[in-house]
Amino acid sequence: QIQLVETGGGSAQAGGSLRLSCAASGWDGRYKCMGWFRQAPGKEREGVARIDLRGGDVYYVDSVKGRFTIAQDNAKNTVSLQMNSLKPEDTAMYYCAADVRSTGDCAESRRTPYWGQGMQVTVSS
């Protein structure tokens, strides 16, 4: 059974930084992609960043470009999200997601099968 365990998160002031990590387990093969989604109260879940673990391509939503960095860590099947220059509008529940299918891209929440439990990120002004 594939499991995603998220660590990090918490609170920061505007302009500050936080780092999220996600470790995947339960699959002996190569993961196709891992990514981060977020959902603020009253808003739809949106994709924030994702990485193709087989090709290396990364993607960011426009609102975080230049501030957030997703990377595959040295540990196998672990990715991090470094969040710098945080803004109050970054406040949300952040979820790690993954896919092992060759067709997976972690682009849309409804098509991404594996999820972490979520972590709260709160940025105060």
pLDDT digits (tens, 9 = 90+) for 69-117: 999 986 678 999 999 999 999 999 999 999 999 999 999 999 999 999 9
Q: Do residues 55 and 124 lie in contact, with contact meaning Cβ atoms separated by under 8 Å? A: no
What pLDDT is recorded for position 22?
A: 96
Residue 125's pLDDT is what?
Answer: 94
**Per DSSP, which regions of 40-118 are E strands?**
46-52, 58-60, 68-72, 78-83, 92-99, 114-115
pLDDT at 24 over 90: yes
Cα dihedral 59, 28, 78, 30 sign: negative
> Which tens digits make up the pLDDT trace of 36-67?
999 999 999 999 999 999 888 999 999 999 99
Separation CA 74–CA 29 (nearest Å): 17
d(CA 110, CA 56): 23
